[in-house]
């Protein structure tokens, strides 16, 4: 969000607003131009339609798949495992991170573990998880969960660490118990940190779900893409890619919306002293 510039004469402000308009126009224009170019390229034979298909072809395939109900089911399956893994990972991870506040020692012991676990390529574990938890829904949720839980814990712990010690002193001087300092001060103080981790985590969670479906699954957009690839149905692969892109943008926007709602509640305007 940009702050409005108050001191400028109205003419300059007008110009600013116009340029913002122009930026939006350019953004959408570029997208449309790219799609048009793709279509044109396919029709004029610059692009091999077998590999690259074309926007109209992809759209037609998507509509057919939608009508049979397959596409809809796959979207629901992937969305569900992504959101469930995201929610579980965020809630459990944040709780773990926050609870470290109660024990400096536990936190110090856990810190290098968190860093290493965070750096670990969890997607590489996907085959093991699928064997452990089966090819069904749960293995996808667990993978999405593992992708998010560590980052959520790290964000929450950073927030808990950043609590103003003077505020802690004040609450204790008012006779607060440790549990009260935790609920009244630590949790709300860490909220902006937790919230800022959500955007990254929704994308990570979706990556976990899709890779799980790549390994072994009987449903989901990831499985659809793999299946279409092995049968050389590249049109369908493109449908999968486009639908996944749209889905991830929608989820991202939903998280941004959630962020705005949450940060209004836990207004982060604590910089003024």
Partner 1 sequence: MPDVDYLSVRGVSKQFDSGGNAVSAIEDVSFDIARGSFVSILGPSGCGKSTLFNVIAGLLPPTAGDVRLGDTSIIGKAGQVGYMLQKDLLLPWRTIEDNITLGQTLRGIRKRTARQAAAPLIDRCGLAHFEKKKPHQLSGGMRQRAALLRTLLTGKDVLLLDEPFGALDAITRLQLQMTLIDVWQETRKTILFVTHDVDEALLLSDEIIVLTQRPGRVRARLTVDLPRPRTPDMLASPDLMQLKAQLMTLLLQEVTEP
Determine, following the binding rule CB under 8 A, whether residue 136 of this chain makes contact with partner 1. Answer: no
Question: Between 115 and 174, whose beta carbon lies closer to partner 1?
Answer: 174
Q: How far is residue 76 from each of residues 79, 93, 244, measured CA to CA in Å?
A: 5, 25, 12
Q: 């979207």: which residue's tokens?
A: 75
Helical axes 137-161 vs 126-133, angle rounded to 10°:
120
Q: Is 87 helix (H, G, I), strand (E, B) or coil?
A: helix
Question: Between 17 and 178, whose beta carbon lies closer to partner 1?
Answer: 178
Determine, following the binding rule CB under 8 A, whether residue 184 of this chain makes contact with partner 1. Answer: yes
CB of 263 vs partner 1, minimal distance in Å: 10
Helical axes 137-161 vs 104-119, angle rounded to 10°:
130
CB of 202 vs partner 1, minimal distance in Å: 24
Q: Round to whole Å and give the CA distance between 115 and 157.
A: 12
Determine, following the binding rule CB under 8 A, whether residue 165 of this chain makes contact with partner 1. Answer: no
Question: Between 89 and 159, whose beta carbon lies closer to partner 1?
Answer: 159
CB of 111 vs partner 1, minimal distance in Å: 24
Question: Between 67 and 180, whose beta carbon lies closer to partner 1?
Answer: 180
> Which range in 107-115, 127-135, 183-191, 218-226 contacts partner 1 by CB under 8 A?
183-191
Radius of gyration of the chain (CA): 24
Q: Is the dihedral of CA 120, 124, 127, 133 positive or negative?
A: positive
Binding region for partner 1 (CB under 8 A): 164, 166-167, 169-177, 180, 184-185, 188, 191, 265-270, 272-273
């Amino acid at each position: 969000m940009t702050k409005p510039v108050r001191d400028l004469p109205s003419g300059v402000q007008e110009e600013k607003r116009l340029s913002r308009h122009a930026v939006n126009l350019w953004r959408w224009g570029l997208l449309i131009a790219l799609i048009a170019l793709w279509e044109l390229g396919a029709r004029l034979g610059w692009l091999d339609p077998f590999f690259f298909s074309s926007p109209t072809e992809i759209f037609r395939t998507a509509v057919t798949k939608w009508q049979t109900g397959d596409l809809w089911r796959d979207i629901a399956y992937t969305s569900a495992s992504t959101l469930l893994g995201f929610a579980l990972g965020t809630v459990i991870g944040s709780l773990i991170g926050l609870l470290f506040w109660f024990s400096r020692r536990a936190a110090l012991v856990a810190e290098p573990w968190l860093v290493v676990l965070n750096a670990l390529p969890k997607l590489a574990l996907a085959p093991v998880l699928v064997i452990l938890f089966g090819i069904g829904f749960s293995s996808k949720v667990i993978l999405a969960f593992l992708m998010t839980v560590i980052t959520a814990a790290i964000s929450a712990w950073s927030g808990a660490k950043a609590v103003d010690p003077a505020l802690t002193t004040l609450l204790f001087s008012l006779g607060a118990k440790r549990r009260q300092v935790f609920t009244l001060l630590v949790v709300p103080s860490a909220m902006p940190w937790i919230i800022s981790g959500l955007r990254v985590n929704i994308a990570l969670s979706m990556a976990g779900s899709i890779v799980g479906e790549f390994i072994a699954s009987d449903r989901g957009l990831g499985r659809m893409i793999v299946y279409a690839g092995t049968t050389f149905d590249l049109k369908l692969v493109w449908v999968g890619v486009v639908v996944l892109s749209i889905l991830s943008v929608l989820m991202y926007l939903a998280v941004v919306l959630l962020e705005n709602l949450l940060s209004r509640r836990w207004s982060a305007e604590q910089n003024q002293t």
